[in-house]
Structure formats: structure tokens, C-alpha cells
Chain A
Amino acid sequence: MTEALDLSLYAKPAGNGTLGMELAVEGIACGACIARIEGAVKNLPGVTEARLNYTNRRLHVAWADGAVKPSQILQVLEDSGYHGHPFVPLRAEREEAAEARWLTRCLAVAGFAAMNIMLLSVSVWSGNVTDITPETRDFFHWASALIALPAAAYAGRPFFTSAWGALTAHALNMDVPISLGVILALGMSLVETANHAEHAYFDSAIMLLFFLLVGRALDHAMRRKTRAVAGNLAALRADTAHRFSGDELVSVPVAALKAGDRLLVKPGERVPADAIVLGGASEIDESLITGETARRKVTSAATIYAGSLNYSGALTVKVTAAGGAALIDEIEKLLDKAASAKSRAMRLADRASRIYAPVVHLTAALTLAGWLLAGASLHDAVVTAIAVLIITCPCALALAIPAVQVVASGALFRANIILNAGDAIERLVDVDTVVFDKTGTLTLPEPRVVNAAALDPELLQLAARLALSSHHPLAVALSREVRLRVPFDGAVEEPGRGVRAHIDGVEARLGSAEFCSLAQASAHTPLIPALAAIQSQTPEIPAFAGTSGTRTDPGISTICFRHGSRSAVVAITQTLRPDAVEVAKSLRERGLDLRILSGDRDAAVAPIARALGIEHWQSGLKPAEKIARIEEWKTYGHRVLMVGDGLNDAPSLAAAHVSLSPISAADVTQAQADAVFLGERLKPVLDALVIAHSARALMTQNLWLAAIYNGIAVPIAIAGAVTPLIAALAMSGSSLLVTLNALRAGGRRP
């Protein structure tokens, strides 16, 4: 049965009777893909526009309403060898794009003004020591003013609005001294120009804005880049659900589900929304929600949660809470509490500006008073005091931290870590305790075959190839072992039992022991020694529950294969991430205290803790208990890094000092995490800490560099010896110095 695919949710009116849709495209490898994709989509009748953005791997398509169905566009992409995933652009992303364009416009204006004013200023500086006439100097100063004033009014807005926002909230941020410095420099220069003075500081004010805007624009660009990647990954993960419309099944995106919809959940699929079972019986795996790896049997009237994996039978369900609203009440309450109670660590930059701004303003005031007492004229005293403010305008200081952040988040991005929160880098440095969830975090999110070494390789390959024809999660796990990804012809799946096919004229069956005509006892006999052997080598496999050997641990599943007279029993279970042991060791070597908080059973957690050498572990914890543990450690002064993926981890992620989540985590959980890491390795956790530490060291260095600069420049300014030339040299010199130093954050490969 081919099921209609309804993607009307994603098609948005784009004017002139056309509809538009955004797709994240997977599989783009080279420049030729641009022409191939756009050509293929444009060939569809009715498509008016197809434009691929190669930078962020997104395709925009527009078509005359009614001419094509969105699903046809997906099919065309599929036929050309790409996967398209429609998505609705987030409002936040659009707002950020608009802000980025605004920053770039400000940057362009500031750059233009800085170049032209510098041209005039250099003429004045060289003229002042040779033979410039006062008239020519005045002309150059007025020309500078003509450029500087409108340019500062335009390009300074990002700083002025932020400073005003801080002042109205009775706070100080770095933008307050910046804005003050710029405005005073411009005002004083204007007055001095009117008085035919020798010095004007238009160039200093505009150069300052230009440097700061460069830093801000780069910071913004990096955040947008990571957000675009995160958005694409979210689109890739968005699933479809099978909704009954009358008696017919229609595939709809999960985001289009509403409470009350009737759905069919097939074996091997994730439950798309919180729902009540109407018909059918199955086993579901709720490890993403509770961390428990043993499966739960569900029948009519059972409540199931979004994110659980349906194992054996098809279920008809009614949606109770749709889409993003799908969340277990208890977790939602905990989450609200944890998020609001989270004491936001004060950012380094804010701390620096809180000390810096008052000191600077006090120094300027003292300079004014000092010169007046020393008998200088009011004009000279004011000019000197303002020169102090200009020279201390925290250009280098304002760049010191953001510049490192930009470079470090680029380094994190290359290490497969996507930052959600900009200040996470600073908080990662404080960490002394790392708390892991088990299921899906220390272990791989999908189960793997564990006794491959004990099986006949040829038989395993046959079984794995046959498994390609089944959607059962165990078969999917088995099919990961296959080398030749070609399913057997004529393979038939018998739902809930297994799959069979004729291979070389002999019938092969894959499924339950009964389905493969293997007696229950004989099915386990070859397995038990095999498993015992694996256990001795890889301690992560949970021990058998019970000593009789007739029952295996619920964490281990078996799937049987029979080909003619030969048979095999394949054991499948959660396995550790491939590098978990080394990463745990390296983390310990860095002096970190490792702990496990799991919602799973003792028997499942203990062997993993043992394999990783983690002494502190607790199992069977409810979300509230996980938070309680973290809060308890916090009261002892520990700074906790929480790494978790389950829905049950979301509140603890919010409660921890800083948090990481694998990309396979539940949506709610990812939203809480400070950073998300990709891939099936655990190494990004270590990389994040290493990069954060080197970034923090550079931030401190930069703050010192800025302090040294001020230490040298301020006495000169107080003495009244600062000329615009010295100001320009000192300010741009220190800005370049901290920026170049920040670049080192990306150079060292972790």
C-alpha cells in the first residue's frame, strides 16, 4: 500500500498565487550538485523557482498553487540521489538574519567612514608638523565631522541601544563606557573644530566603532552558522506519522498532529506524540524517556509517550498531546523549577565591565579635578579629562572575550559540538564533576549485535542481509552488520513473528525462536556459553538475571536465524560508545570526578560503571531524584557538568552548572542543553572541556593585555600628552593584539 504524503503544513503562500517551501537537503557533496538539484526540481511543471543555498544546504522552492504536490518535490530529490527534509524556518532564525544584515550595514558604514576620516586625519597629522595652514586644517576637520557624525549616528546604534537598555535597567555593561567615549569624543572634537583647535578625535571615535562592529559581526555570524546546522539537523530528525483520515492512512509531518488524531504506529517506529492506545498490542522501549532499557508491554487504554520505540506490533492510538506540547507533566513541572532556580553564572565580560566602568569614570573625574586644582583653564581640564575617557574606551576590553568566543566556538564546531548558549564555554571551565546518564549517553542510542565474533561470519552476513527486509528494531540493529546492502528478493515479513526468504533455494527464516522452529531450550543453549565468553571480554554486557540460565536479562534481546540446517542466535543489546572507556580515563586524568545517574535498573548500570571505572553510580532514579542528587552536590560546592539525552534528563540538564546532550536526544532535552554533540563517539565531551580551558586561558590573557594597554596609555592621557595620533595608534594596536591572540584558540587541535 502506498500511502499519500501530506506536506501542506510546510507550504507557505509566497505571493502571486504561488506557494513556497524550505527544505534541508542531505547528500550535497560538490558544486555540481547545485545545478543537478535545481535543474531536477525546476523540470517539474509548475515550479517557478528553485534556489539552493550551498552554504547552509537549504533549498527554497516556489510553485504555482495546485500545480505540484510538495511530496513530488521530495520524490524528485530522492530520484536524483538526495534527501530533502521540509521545515518551517524558525522565527528566531529570521530575526537573526535580519539583525546580521543590520550589523553588516553598520559595519560597512563605519568602515567607509573610518577610511575616509583616516585619510583626512593623516593629512592633518603630517601637516601639523610641517606647513599646513589653519584654514586647510579647519576644512579637513569640518569634512571629518561631516562624515563622522552621520556615520556614528548610524553605525553606533547597536551600542547606543544596548547601553541605553542597561542604563534604564540601572545596570552597567561594556556598551555604556563605549557609547560615552564615542559621544564625548565626537562632541569635544566638534567644539574644538569650531574653535580652530589643532586636535580633533573624529578618527578615534569611528575607528573604535569599526573595530567593535567587526568583533560583533563575527560573533553573530558564528552563532548563525551553528544555528543553521542545528536547524538542519532538527529538520532531518523530523518524522512523519501515519494518520487515519477516514479509513485511509495519510503520512503527515509530526508537527501537523493535533490532539484527538487517530494514528497508526508501525513496528520499528517512534511514537510521534503522547497518546492512548486504542487497539493492538505491542512492546515499547521507553529508554529515551525513562532510561529504562527493559521493554514495557502495552495494550488498549495504555498511555504511551512521544519518543518511545514501538517494537513488535502495530498500534492504533489517539493523540492526547500533540507535537511540541508532548511532555510528561511531572517532567515539565521539574523543568520549570530547575530552569528558574538556575543561578546564572555571571559572565566574565560583565564582571570585567562592572569593575572597569566606574574606575574609568572616576579616573576621568579625578583628572578634571586635578588639572583644575593645578591651575589649568576649565577648557584644558575638560579636554584632558575627555581624552582620558577616549583613550580608556574599552575597545580591546570589549573585544577581549567575544573574539576568543568566536574562535573557540569555531573550534568546537569542528569538533562536532554545537553551542546553544554562548557563555557555556566559560561555565565549562568551572566543572569539577561530570555526571553521565547511561542509556543513549554512555551507550549508543541504538542497540548493536554483541556476539558477532562467536558466530559463523557467513551465516551472520546472510542473517543481516535478510534483516534488511524487516522494520523490527532488532532486525534493524542486526542489519547494521551487513556489508552488501541488497535485500534478498522475495523476502516476506510476517508482522510480529519474523521475516523469511529463499536463499540459494533453501528457506531462511529470521525472527523468534518459535518462528525459526528452534526449540526454546536449544535456542539458548548455544547462546549461553557464547554470551559468557563475551562477558569475560567486554564487561559492559549485563549479567544474566537469575542463575538458572533459562532467562536472559531483559536488557539483552535475541533474534534467531535459520538457513536450512544451520542456525544462529544473535544477541543484541545496548553497547558502550566506542571510545567511552578512553574518554572516561582521560576525564579522570584531568582530575574530574565522574558519576552516573541512571533511570535504568541496577543490573544494567553496574557493569557499565565497572567497565568505565566509575565508582559513584546510582540507578533507578526518577527525574526528581536526579535533580536532588545534583542539588546536593552543588551544596558541597561541586560544579556539575551533566551529560544526558533522555526526556528524564531534561530537568537535571537545566539544574546542572553546564550541560551537554548527544544529537540523538529528545527535543526537549536538547533545548535545555548548553551544547549538543554529534556522532557516536563520546570524545566531544572531552574536547569541549579542553577547548573551553584553552579559551578561558586566552580570555584571561586578553584581559591582561587590555589592562597593560590601559596602564601605559592612561598616565599619558592624565598628563594631557595624548594627541589623536597616539590615541589612534594605541587603540588600534591593542585591538589588533587581542584579536590576534584570540585566533590562537582555534589553532591548537584538541
Chain B
Amino acid sequence: MNVLVYLVPMALGLGLIGLFAFLWALRSGQYGDVDGAALRVLSDDDLET
């Protein structure tokens, strides 16, 4: 059972990374325009025309 002593904190740490990734995405406005984000992937503005 000693394995739990480092497995549980490791699982928590991974979860925390996910949480901070979400908070960062929220702070940088990535949830400000959810409809637009879905459409922007379709535009070819990176291609030379």
C-alpha cells in the first residue's frame, strides 16, 4: 500500500496541471468567443492568395 503515498499526490499534481491550464485559457480570453473559434479554424488566412 506504500505505493499510494506517491501515486495519490502524483494524480493530484496531474489534475492541478489540467486545472491551471483551464484557468490560463480562461484568463487569455479563449472562452470569449466560442462560436467564432469554431469558424476561425476553417478560414484559410494563413495561405498566400
Whole-angstrom CA separation of A536 from B39 in the bound complex? 54
A101 within 8 Å of B by Cβ?
Answer: yes
A104 within 8 Å of B by Cβ?
Answer: yes
Which interface residue of A52, A55, A104 has the most chain B CB atoms within 10 A? Answer: A55
- Asked whether, in the complex, the Cβ of B11 is within 8 Å of the Cβ of A116, the reply is yes
- Asked whether, in the complex, the Cβ of B39 is within 8 Å of the Cβ of A139, the reply is no
Whole-angstrom CA separation of A105 from B23 in the bound complex? 7
Whole-angstrom CA separation of A119 from B5 in the bound complex? 15
Contact with B along A127-169 (1 / 0, CB 8 A): 0000001011001100100010000000000000000000000
The interface residues of chain A lying within 8 Å CB-to-CB of B18 are 112
The interface residues of chain A lying within 8 Å CB-to-CB of B40 are 31, 34
Which residues of chain B from 11 to 49 have a CB within 8 Å of any chain A CB? 11-12, 15-16, 18-19, 22-23, 26-27, 31-36, 38-40, 42-43, 45
Whole-angstrom CA separation of A585 from B48 in the bound complex? 61
Whole-angstrom CA separation of A112 from B18 in the bound complex? 9
Cβ-closest chain B residue relative to A52: B36
A722 within 8 Å of B by Cβ?
Answer: no
- Asked whether, in the complex, the Cβ of A105 is within 8 Å of the Cβ of B15, the reply is no
- Asked whether, in the complex, the Cβ of A39 is within 8 Å of the Cβ of B45, the reply is yes
The interface residues of chain B lying within 8 Å CB-to-CB of A147 are 12
B18 to chain A, nearest CB (A): 7
A108 within 8 Å of B by Cβ?
Answer: yes
The interface residues of chain B lying within 8 Å CB-to-CB of A135 are 1
A35 within 8 Å of B by Cβ?
Answer: yes
Q: A108-B19, A108-B26, A136-B1 are in contact. Are A31 and B12 (CB under 8 A)?
A: no
A43 to chain B, nearest CB (A): 13
Cβ-closest chain B residue relative to A32: B43
B36 to chain A, nearest CB (A): 3
The interface residues of chain A lying within 8 Å CB-to-CB of B39 are 30-31, 34, 54
A115 within 8 Å of B by Cβ?
Answer: yes
The interface residues of chain B lying within 8 Å CB-to-CB of A133 are 1
Cβ-closest chain A residue relative to B40: A34
Whole-angstrom CA separation of A120 from B26 in the bound complex? 28
- Asked whether, in the complex, the Cβ of B35 is within 8 Å of the Cβ of A54, the reply is yes
A8 within 8 Å of B by Cβ?
Answer: no
A249 to chain B, nearest CB (A): 38
Q: A115-B15, A116-B11 are in contact. Are A108 and B23 (CB under 8 A)?
A: yes
Whole-angstrom CA separation of A112 from B19 in the bound complex? 7
Which residues of chain A from 34 to 77 have a CB within 8 Å of any chain B CB? 34-35, 39, 52-56
- Asked whether, in the complex, the Cβ of B15 is within 8 Å of the Cβ of A143, the reply is no
The contact of A35 among B22, B38, B45, by CB within 8 Å, is B45
Which interface residue of B15, B19, B40 has the most chain A CB atoms within 10 A? Answer: B19
Cβ-closest chain B residue relative to A151: B19
Q: A105-B23, A112-B15, A116-B12 are in contact. Are A31 and B32 (CB under 8 A)?
A: no
Cβ-closest chain B residue relative to A33: B39
- Asked whether, in the complex, the Cβ of A112 is within 8 Å of the Cβ of B16, the reply is yes
The interface residues of chain A lying within 8 Å CB-to-CB of B8 are 120, 139-140, 143
- Asked whether, in the complex, the Cβ of A136 is within 8 Å of the Cβ of B4, the reply is yes
A213 within 8 Å of B by Cβ?
Answer: no
- Asked whether, in the complex, the Cβ of A143 is within 8 Å of the Cβ of B36, the reply is no
Cβ-closest chain B residue relative to A119: B11
- Asked whether, in the complex, the Cβ of B19 is within 8 Å of the Cβ of A34, the reply is no
Interface size class of B (residues with CB under 8 A): 20 to 34
The interface residues of chain B lying within 8 Å CB-to-CB of A321 are none
Cβ-closest chain A residue relative to B22: A108
Whole-angstrom CA separation of A603 from B8 in the bound complex? 82
- Asked whether, in the complex, the Cβ of A34 is within 8 Å of the Cβ of B36, the reply is yes
Q: A35-B45, A116-B12 are in contact. Are A139 and B23 (CB under 8 A)?
A: no
The interface residues of chain A lying within 8 Å CB-to-CB of B34 are 55
- Asked whether, in the complex, the Cβ of B31 is within 8 Å of the Cβ of A104, the reply is yes
Whole-angstrom CA separation of A31 from B45 in the bound complex? 12
Whole-angstrom CA separation of A712 from B8 in the bound complex? 36
The contact of B36 among A55, A104, A105, A119, by CB within 8 Å, is A55
Whole-angstrom CA separation of A101 from B22 in the bound complex? 12
Cβ-closest chain B residue relative to A143: B8
Cβ-closest chain B residue relative to A135: B1
Q: A31-B39, A35-B45, A139-B4 are in contact. Are A55 and B22 (CB under 8 A)?
A: no
The interface residues of chain B lying within 8 Å CB-to-CB of A108 are 19, 22-23, 26
A153 to chain B, nearest CB (A): 15
A109 within 8 Å of B by Cβ?
Answer: yes
Whole-angstrom CA separation of A104 from B11 in the bound complex? 23
The contact of B15 among A31, A116, A136, by CB within 8 Å, is A116
Cβ-closest chain A residue relative to B1: A136
Whole-angstrom CA separation of A147 from B16 in the bound complex? 11
Cβ-closest chain B residue relative to A53: B33
The interface residues of chain A lying within 8 Å CB-to-CB of B12 are 116, 143, 147
B22 to chain A, nearest CB (A): 5
Q: A108-B23, A136-B4, A143-B12 are in contact. Are A31 and B42 (CB under 8 A)?
A: yes
Whole-angstrom CA separation of A39 from B12 in the bound complex? 45
The interface residues of chain B lying within 8 Å CB-to-CB of A140 are 8
- Asked whether, in the complex, the Cβ of B26 is within 8 Å of the Cβ of A105, the reply is yes
Whole-angstrom CA separation of A34 from B1 in the bound complex? 56
Whole-angstrom CA separation of A268 from B33 in the bound complex? 38
A280 to chain B, nearest CB (A): 47
- Asked whether, in the complex, the Cβ of A54 is within 8 Å of the Cβ of B43, the reply is no
Whole-angstrom CA separation of A116 from B38 in the bound complex? 31
Question: Taking beta carbons and an 8 Å cutoff, which residues of A are in contact with B?
Answer: 30-32, 34-35, 39, 52-56, 101, 104-105, 108-109, 112, 115-116, 119-120, 133, 135-136, 139-140, 143, 147
- With A120-B8, A139-B4 known, 5 other A-B pairs at CB within 8 A are A53-B32, A53-B33, A54-B33, A108-B19, A136-B4
Sampled A-B contacts (12; CB under 8 Å):
A31-B39, A31-B40, A31-B42, A53-B32, A53-B33, A54-B36, A55-B33, A55-B36, A104-B31, A112-B19, A135-B1, A139-B8
A-B pairs, 6 with minimum CB distance:
A54-B36, A31-B39, A55-B35, A112-B19, A53-B33, A35-B43
